[in-house]
Chain A
């Protein structure tokens, strides 16, 4: 079932499956959009902060990675939710 989503769309396949695949891809894509903005924001702020006060780099790095992972995880919640919906419904 998953393989039909991951690779080659069959023109003769189930239309409902195709619709679900498109919905899943769109959902993950939109989720990635938000996380992309968030991650860019984190690293941008980090660069600014280090440019202003280079001596704080070590202390900031821990917070930076924490924020990065917390933001990045949002995509994966979308992915898991999408996959669940794709497989179960």
Chain B
């Protein structure tokens, strides 16, 4: 626990260190944590395929997810499992027992387990990358004649576009699977609940609205969680620059507390929730309750 605390504090201190090491050039502009979410185009590509900070983070997340999957799952099975195998089995078990079996019917697990497990690991990795100071930032600092990007914490999942794309994927798969399993008529009929006939004009629009609300709630939950977490940490660190040097211990302590809360609890919970809800939505489309 002590070691964890030290690691988190030093990671946090690494954040403003580059900015402090730089000359006073950047100091005169007003500090605003919202600047972190103004994405500048890095590489201009046609068809809106521009690369900016969030895209870079998603790409990095994809690579790390693939490497993590290979590292954890491609293990030579031994008689005594080593740490790597144990960790891989733990991740697999969470994905299998807690996520897939909770939502998906047994016949659909074979087809949809890979999707929900990938979602879980991918979102976890992207969330986690957001809390490691990386030299991927829009601002640069001049050290020894070189323009280096400042260290920044930024999660790709704290932009609505990324989470909306993930939620849209689940949403489309839900309806495709529902139609594939029940037929168009059967699937649409499953939206209509068992209520007295007179209530139907009131209930059916709500049910249809509910289908779209899933899209919003799924994407906004992840987005707002990550946004609020980053905003909190940046705000507490930013207090140093805005008020007085005397708040340094207070702001670092509070920043570390929130940092640990985000890293230990929120990151994993949000990844798990997103995958579990995807599984539940897809499962409930395949096998409607009535």
Contact = CB atoms under 8 A, between A and B. Distances in A.
A65 interface: yes
A80 B224 contact: yes
Given A8-B242, A65-B269, A66-B273, A73 B224 contact: yes
Given A3-B31, A6-B33, A7-B242, A76 B269 contact: no
B224 A79 contact: yes
B225 interface: yes
A73 B32 contact: no
A66 B276 contact: yes
B137 interface: no
B235 interface: yes
A44 interface: no
Contacts of A79: 224, 228
Given A65-B272, A69-B269, A76 B33 contact: no
Contact of B220 (A70, A72, A80): A80
B34 A2 contact: yes
Nearest to B280: A66
A77 B222 CA distance: 11
A73 B217 contact: yes
Nearest to A58: B97
A70 B222 CA distance: 11
A62 B98 contact: yes
Contacts of B235: 6
B233 to A, nearest CB: 13
Contact of B33 (A2, A69, A72): A2
A67 B225 CA distance: 15
Contacts of B223: 80
B30 interface: yes
A77 B19 CA distance: 33
Contacts of B180: none
Contacts of A65: 269, 272-273
B224 A69 contact: no
B102 interface: yes
10 contacts: A2-B33, A2-B34, A6-B32, A6-B235, A7-B238, A62-B98, A69-B270, A73-B224, A77-B220, A77-B224
Interface of B: 30-34, 98, 102, 217, 220-221, 223-225, 228, 235, 238-239, 242-243, 269-270, 272-273, 276-277
Given A7-B243, A69-B269, 17 more contacts: A2-B32, A2-B33, A2-B34, A3-B34, A8-B242, A8-B243, A62-B276, A65-B272, A65-B273, A69-B221, A72-B225, A73-B217, A73-B221, A76-B220, A77-B217, A79-B224, A80-B224
Q: Which 6 A-B pairs have CB atoms at the shortest separation, nearest pair first?
A: A76-B224, A69-B273, A73-B221, A3-B32, A2-B34, A62-B98
